Amino acid sequence: MNTRRHFLKTGVALAAGFGGLQLLTGTATARAVKGYGALLADPKKFLDLPKGFSYRVISKAGNPMADGLQVPGAADGMAAFPGPKGLTVLVRNHELNPAITGSGGAFGESNKNLTDQIRAKMYDAGGRHEGKQVPPSLGGTTTLVYDTKRGRMVREFLSLAGTVRNCAGGPTPWNSWITCEETADRAGGTLMQNHGYNFDVPATAQPKLAQAVALKAMGRFRHEAVAVDPKTGIVYQTEDLGDSAIYRFIPKTPGKLAAGGRLQALVVRDSFSLDTRNWKEQFVKVGAKLAVSWVDLDEVESPKNDLRLQAQAKGAAKFARGEGMWWGNGDVYFVCTNGGKKQHGQIWKHTPATGTLELYAEPNDPAVIDRADNLTVAPWGDLVLCEDGPGEQFLSGITPKGGFYKIARNAVSNSEFAGATFSPDSTTLFVNIQHQGLTLAITGPWRQ
């Protein structure tokens, strides 16, 4: 970890890539920019931040919620929405498996607070199967209502239940959060239902548990995140596997995903089943703009979890663990967590208006970015990245001109950051520390 600390203290120039963003491919010079300044040690040992910044722990796993349940653990992806009277509504994922019967789920020890009313709205509520008791699936989402002006929590409550490993997702233009299951497990064992779907969760300020409806036409695979084009309603999707595809879903009716639509996979033109991972050879250069098209997919329920293989047989490109994805500046940004020669991650940009795909960054140096996972686009255009590598974990930023900087360091553990998202009034960056089940609100002199 000395290398990463050295980067923070000195901001030395780093080996880098092309003339636009000048990122890391070894042919030019990039720079570590000052950003918001050096990170200062937190006396409470939660979060190291630059001078002038502060944080509040606004939610913690196990705390009571407004609906009588408790905050689940494993907080992950998240998005912020405008609420009534200037409040912020946060919808937050919980990456939980079915069989947790302790304090990890929302229903308490041995799920003692799980009622029939809740079961009726769950996707997979468990039950009896072949003489055995199958536990309820404990993944899902919670909703937080936060007052940024007063810096206080108003309420939080369970908003989706009965799913598995809700990892990331994405906000929609119709004021909801699409939550994604990072699994493709089928019914049997600890599951009563097939899993591997997306679910649409309304962003409401009043306690309400949504009816869980699997969006099956969007494909059954190891989902990670989505981004929605606000003009067309097309939903872009990542898949968390080492040989994944990038998908898009064209709904029959924008905003009504349950009504069905067409699932497609990304193809790089004139490069049949291009391997973009750059593990053994630099097939894709940083900054190169690749023309793309999309191929239709059949059998989207994919009983063998081979949707990506079907896609690649039709020419779809291959990616290295597609994870975080976000819409911003008219583009779809997404992360491939272990792409690149040294597998420290890649950041991609797809521009629907021009039909192009660009390798936006490939650090190949953990001192810069180490296996970025979730990401968001800041109101002023920078990317904010949550790291999920070994050892120390940082929130990092990249300016549109290619400057790298650190925003925060996890001082409480080596757990990943997750769910970074800005409040609608741009004053507050919310983020989760997953293993501790913490949600934090960071304020300070953000660039406007």
Percent of the chain predicted with pLDDT > 90: 83
Per residue in 108-122, pLDDT (tens digit) is 998 999 999 999 999
What average pLDDT score do residues 181-200 get?
96
pLDDT at 11 over 80: no
Alpha-carbon dihedral sign for residues 373, 374, 378, 381: positive
Q: Which residues contact 112 (CB under 8 A, 6 or more apart)?
A: none
Structure tokens belonging to residue 344: 């420290």
Per residue in 362-405, pLDDT (tens digit) is 988 888 888 999 999 999 999 999 998 888 999 999 988 878 89
Cα 220 to Cα 28: distance, rounded to the nearest angstrom: 42
Q: Which residues contact 247 (CB under 8 A, 6 or more apart)?
A: 219, 236, 237, 238, 239, 263, 264, 265, 266, 297, 311
Per residue in 135-182, pLDDT (tens digit) is 999 999 999 999 999 999 999 999 999 999 999 999 999 999 999 999
pLDDT at 101 over 70: no
Q: Which residues contact 284 (CB under 8 A, 6 or more apart)?
A: 274, 276, 278, 290, 359
Residues 190, 164 contacting (CB under 8 angstroms): no
pLDDT at 29 over 80: no
For the chain, domain boundaries = 1-60+365-448
pLDDT at 224 over 70: yes
- Which of 104, 210, 206, 85 minimizes the C-alpha distance to 156? 206
Q: What are phi and psi of 159, to 5 degrees?
A: -120, -15
What average pLDDT score do residues 14-21 get?
29
Query: Rounded to 5, what percent of the chain is helix, strand, coil?
Result: 5, 40, 50
Q: What are phi and psi of 265, to 5 degrees?
A: -125, 150
Structure tokens belonging to residue 350: 């797809």
